[in-house]
Structure 1
């Protein structure tokens, strides 16, 4: 009995070969958010304690954990969070005030109506704050260096970020991408559910312009900076880590100021002390 010849793909011209089928990434598993499910994935009682309330969902994918349906607590306030992310790659190592902190918190500020984000830098481990303004806002489209100093924005270190919403259709949203994206929270479907069609990707305002600040200045303690363990000068000794409470407060204050600019009114009084290190060249009101 003669053997059937084996057809070798190596002899098929390159132009006629079929590309290998791409595997569709699996959607992250979703579980109810309870003490029994949160502690094993967050591996921190401090982190679990900062998630206020009961109920909600938790999803995990590639070292990133997403919690929805829970408020987020800082030492100063309760944030009505839409999404809370914990990103193992972004989170600083070692002991510090960052223990138990989330790496991204998204919420809508009730007073201004603007979307807000607290986000940790993936390299330095410091926190940043962002506010998204709609396309009819006077500062929509302005570069971070073009925001005039006399407009009176007071925020930590001045405005250091100004860009369009980092949105885009994707057939399967990955938590590792969403945990580092500066964009609105989707209305539907939830970020951890698989999207059936690219056109299903919807956000509150896909053309929002995000203005933000960072806590990586000379007077800030940067967790990812190797010098933090052995300060060598008085200026380094004076550096302070800006925790989630500080960054949330500054973000809410920035949202209030941006709302006042849109309305042509004066910004309401700040809740707490004035920001540190205002830079007039970056939209700061004082030097």
Structure 2
């Protein structure tokens, strides 16, 4: 007798668990007044652990949080460090509508500007409103404001809102250690010793990125630049003033 290939019928009260989205769990950590990371003073606005992204095994990541958000003291920009699914840390800085690189795709930024944290940008986008709150690349207060239906305006600053444009970088590049799955460091990757880019290192790269972005903003102001995307912004490249025009086409990983 031929066996039926039809899947068994589910009971009336059963549900398919695969159709139920599960938001990552998170654990908030009490905020210290100030942290010193990589030689930089940081006044944190959020420190969180995300169990689903915690690397296993011994390593410097054992005592690290998985998300830190703060306002950079020197530039005033919002900054974020967020652990990725492979256990590495990524860093992000938000600029405002008045910045000359507002809405620039990451691969449209001229190399002359020196915007290359940890060997290059990997991310450029508006505040992420679709991911679970602890995974959003956005300011820490954005989720609370969105629940209150607070309006955002075209001149809102980088402290949240839809008008914050984020630039970011990953630490999963050649020579970087991926702590969440050790097998990934041995198979289908380059040979040789690999280094885990820890919280202090990533914080240093974030602060440096914020400083470089701030310098560009100040340079554009000194040259009388208008940051409107339609007109471009005059900046000095190769010793000569040039107008930068953003273009579409850069992907967001």
TM-score category of the 2 structures, normalised to the smaller one: 0.5 to 0.7
Structure 2 unpaired stretches of 5+: 1-22, 153-158, 223-249
Inter-partner Cα distance in structure 1 for 2:27 and 2:164: 26
Which one of the candidate residues 117, 126, 133 is aligned to 1:164? 126
Offset at residue 147 of structure 1 (A): 1.3
The alignment's C-alpha RMSD in Å is: 3.1
TM-score (norm 2): 0.67
Runs (4+) of structure 1 moved beyond 6 Å? none
The residue number in structure 2 matching 1:177 is 132
The residue number in structure 2 matching 1:214 is 170
The residue number in structure 1 matching 2:216 is 261
Judged with a 3 Å threshold, the aligned counterparts in structure 2 of structure 1 residues 165 and 62 are, in CA distance, closer, same or farther, namely closer
How many pairs are equivalent?
193
1:153 aligns with 2:103: no
Instruction: Map 1:1-287; keep pairs closer than 5 Å.
Output: 63-67=25-29, 69-70=31-32, 71-74=34-37, 76-121=39-84, 123-167=85-129, 177-186=132-141, 191=144, 198-200=148-150, 204-227=160-183, 231=186, 236-264=191-219
8 Å CA contact 2:79, 2:91 repeated in 1: yes
Offset at residue 78 of structure 1 (A): 4.2
SS in 2 for 1:83: strand
Inter-partner Cα distance in structure 2 for 1:144 and 1:201: 28
The residue number in structure 1 matching 2:225 is none
Inter-partner Cα distance in structure 1 for 2:24 and 2:180: 21
Deviations 1:151-182 (A, max 9, x none): 222310201100011137xxxxxxx9221111
TM-score (norm 1): 0.59
Judged with a 3 Å threshold, the aligned counterparts in structure 2 of structure 1 residues 232 and 79 are, in CA distance, closer, same or farther, namely same
Structure 1 unpaired stretches of 5+: 1-60, 169-175, 267-281, 283-287
8 Å CA contact 2:54, 2:180 repeated in 1: no
Offset at residue 227 of structure 1 (A): 2.8
Inter-partner Cα distance in structure 2 for 1:138 and 1:155: 18
Inter-partner Cα distance in structure 1 for 2:184 and 2:40: 28
Inter-partner Cα distance in structure 1 for 2:188 and 2:72: 39
Judged with a 3 Å threshold, the aligned counterparts in structure 2 of structure 1 residues 142 and 232 are, in CA distance, closer, same or farther, namely closer
Inter-partner Cα distance in structure 2 for 1:84 and 1:235: 33
SS in 2 for 1:98: helix
Deviations 1:53-83 (A, max 9, x none): xxxxxxxx96311135424454644421000
